[in-house]
């Protein structure tokens, strides 16, 4: 079965099992929507949240990966049909999981992902850096926080070809916004550039219509901020259509 995993896993925000219109095109095509409740969220209380922040942040990724492995082990899906989506800090979760286990996923959608947290947390002039120390730690003042963040930050752990368990990697669609004050769009462009450098053999900008070959795509919006088109329903539907078309073409194409 094709599967889409979606989670957040940060700030104690729970991943809600809610009604979403954008799930219908997938459900009508036989997809399964999986919502892992990883540590870093508060689905099981305060201890669950505290177990996935600061120097325990990587447990969010290991939880997410464990769910992916369980989905495969139980026969519900296989890496060929497994995809994942994350937004903002959830984009960090999904992006890092994809870097740690690129063999597990067929496609990833990263919406305004916090993809280069170390660079952001080292810049105190950014609007939210100092208030974020309570969630991620202060790599400017704490060497342990610096080293730990570098061990899971997606930008810093992009694998090279010789590190791939198999000779492939997931297709990735990233989105960002020029006016985003929470996740600067340059994080996304840096990530794309380094990924293409490390994995040029895989992401060689080949034919996008070749669904057997992984692609790496990024879309930077010039008009909106961190929350996309906001109350513009037409804009939200267009964003969802783009992401779903990407997932369906990569997983079921």
Burial class (CB in 10 A: 0-12, 13-18, 19+), 170: buried
Distance CA 205, CA 42 (A): 40
CA 70, chain centre distance (Å): 19
Task: Considering the candidates 7, 88, 97, 171, report the single residue annotated as catalytic.
Answer: 88
Is residue 180 annotated as part of the catalytic site, yes or no? yes
Is residue 175 annotated as part of the catalytic site, yes or no? no
Burial class (CB in 10 A: 0-12, 13-18, 19+), 137: buried
Distance CA 84, CA 35 (A): 10
Task: Considering the candidates 37, 83, 171, 180, report the single residue annotated as catalytic.
Answer: 180
Task: Considering the candidates 219, 226, 240, 249, report the single residue annotated as catalytic.
Answer: 226
Is residue 234 annotated as part of the catalytic site, yes or no? no
> Which residues are known to be catalytic?
88, 180, 226
């Amino acid at each position: 079965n094709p599967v889409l995993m979606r989670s957040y896993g940060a700030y104690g925000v729970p991943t809600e099992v809610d009604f979403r219109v954008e799930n219908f095109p997938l459900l009508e095509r036989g997809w399964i929507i999986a919502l892992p409740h990883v540590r870093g969220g508060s689905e099981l209380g305060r201890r669950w949240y505290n177990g996935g922040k600061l120097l325990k942040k990587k447990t969010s990724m290991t939880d997410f990966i464990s769910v992916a492995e369980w989905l495969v082990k139980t026969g519900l899906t296989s890496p060929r049909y497994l995809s994942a989506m994350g937004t903002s800090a959830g984009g960090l979760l999904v992006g890092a999981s994809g870097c740690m286990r690129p063999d597990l996923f067929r496609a990833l959608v990263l919406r305004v992902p916090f993809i280069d947290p170390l660079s952001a947390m080292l810049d105190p002039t950014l609007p939210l850096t100092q208030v974020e120390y309570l969630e991620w730690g202060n790599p400017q003042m704490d060497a342990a926080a610096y080293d730990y963040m570098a061990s899971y930050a997606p930008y810093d752990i992009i694998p090279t070809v010789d590190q791939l368990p198999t000779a492939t990697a997931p297709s990735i669609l990233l989105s960002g916004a020029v006016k985003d004050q929470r996740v600067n769009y340059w994080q996304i462009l840096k990530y794309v550039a380094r990924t293409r450098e490390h994995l040029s053999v895989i992401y060689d900008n080949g034919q996008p219509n070749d669904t057997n070959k992984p692609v790496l795509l990024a879309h930077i919006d010039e008009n909106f901020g961190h929350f996309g088109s906001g109350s513009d329903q037409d804009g939200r539907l267009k964003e969802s259509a783009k992401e779903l078309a990407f997932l369906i073409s990569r997983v079921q194409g």
